[in-house]
Amino acid sequence: MQQIAAADRSRRVSWNTADTRPGEQFAYYREAICQAFMNLTPEPPATPGFIARVETVGLGDGAVNRVNFPEHVVRRSAADIAASSRRCYYLNLKLAGRCRIQQAGREVSLSPGQVGIFDSGRRFALLHDRGPALQVASFWVPAEALDERLPSAPEVAPARVSDDAFVGHLITETAQVLNNSALRATDADNARLFGVLLDLVALSLSRSGRQGVAESAGLADATWLALRRAVDRRLREPGLGVAAIATAIGISERYVHKLFERAGTTFASHVMDRRLDGAARDLRDPAIAARAIGDIAFDWGFSDLSHFTRRFRHRFGCTPRDWRRG
């Protein structure tokens, strides 16, 4: 079965073996992963029945394939490679269980939260174990999209890129955001963030030959992006501080302050502005028009209503009540 055409990847496609009879479930799963990925040869389990779910969502020229399945082995043979019209890389974010990637005489193990890469142009085996319920978010990366970001004549060996001391945490963070928001974000935002992910992976793969590039402006920009996303996810937490955010993305508190200084602001000012913006949106939301202003303020991490009102007036030039009426 041939892979989904690139033109069809802008839409969501899903398969669920629970909708078929037990004796046909594994065959249906095999067809689904060949559609979502490329020609693959999964090995059938010893027992009948195979409950699995496959979903693919477009990310510009690439895609994220989310797969839930029981323990089994997937191989890509020489015949599979010959039958495929394109070459790609698989960038796997492990979500549940464990997977061992075997390719070119190497073995890389992925546990939940780790990200690994391997090449569809060479034979491989994926040993999915430590179940019974396993889950992976596998990013389908057109080979040319990553190759153009790497030195000439790249040869990408299987690697756990999330281990990179400088950008590993950024790769994991970006992959998780893409996986979680792919269906909610616009096509343009998905494509841009997918490009950021590829830039980070390319930086990791080529960094060994370019020591010092971790301090480049490109890395600082990527860290700044991860920093703002981490703040946005925790805006509603009362008492949110620099230490918690620094720990979340794996950088020092001093570097957090330095990045905000470069942006012409401070951590406290950024958090305050983002909270006030969120409260302002909620105050204008007709769906929650009956909610008390104090409740909305508390939802956005404010613990004192009079303090919230003063800051709101300073930012928007009116009280929260007048803003809601407007």
- Residue 108: how many CB atoms within 10 A of its CB? 20
- Closest to 71 (Cα-Cα) out of 100, 32, 93: 100
pLDDT of residue 215: 42
Q: Tell me, what's the pLDDT at 236? A: 92
Query: Residue 290: is its pLDDT beyond 60?
Result: yes
Q: Regarding beta strands 124-129 and 134-142, do their DSSP bridges make them parallel or antiparallel, or are they unpaired?
A: unpaired
Q: Looking at residue 1, what is its pLDDT?
A: 35
Average pLDDT for residues 247-258, to the nearest whole number?
Answer: 87
- The mean pLDDT of 63-78, rounded to a whole number, is 93
pLDDT at position 5 is 43
Rounded CA separation 141/50 (Å): 27
Instruction: Label residue 3 by pLDDT band (50, 70, 90).
Output: very low
Q: Compute the distance between CA of residue 111 and CA of residue 95 in angstroms, rounded to an integer.
A: 8
More confident position, 213 or 236:
236
Residues 19-50 as b/e (b if ≥16 CB within 10 A, e otherwise) read eeeeeebbebbbebbbbbbbbbebeeeeeeeb
pLDDT at site 153: 55
Residue 116 dihedral angles phi and psi, to the nearest 5°: -130, 155
Q: What is the pLDDT of residues 91-114, one digit of tens each?
A: 999 999 999 999 988 899 999 999
pLDDT digits (tens, 9 = 90+) for 32-56: 999 889 999 999 888 778 999 999 9
Residues 182, 184, 190: CA angle, nearest 5 degrees: 40
> Helix or strand or coil: residue 110?
strand
User: Would you give the distance in Å from CA 70 to the centre of its chain?
Assistant: 23
pTM for the predicted model, two decimal places: 0.64
Band of the pLDDT at 271, cuts 50, 70, 90? very high
Q: Which of 1.10.3720.10, 3.90.1300.10, 3.30.830.10, 1.10.10.60 would CATH assign to domain 229-326?
A: 1.10.10.60
Residues 150-202: tens digit of each pLDDT: 865 567 889 999 999 889 999 999 999 999 999 888 889 999 999 999 999 99
Torsion angle (degrees, nearest 10) of CA 173, 176, 177, 179:
160
What does the mean pLDDT of the chain come to?
A: 87
Distance CA 313, CA 168 (A): 42
Is it the case that residue 323 has pLDDT exceeding 90? Answer: yes
Place of tokens 């992963």: 33
As a whole number of angstroms, the distance between CA 239 and CA 244 comes to 10
- What per-residue confidence (pLDDT) applies to 216? 45
- The domain limits of the chain are 6-163, 229-326
Residue 75 has pLDDT above 80, yes or no: yes
- Are the folds of 6-163 and 229-326 the same? no
Domain 6-163 has CATH 1.10.8.60: no
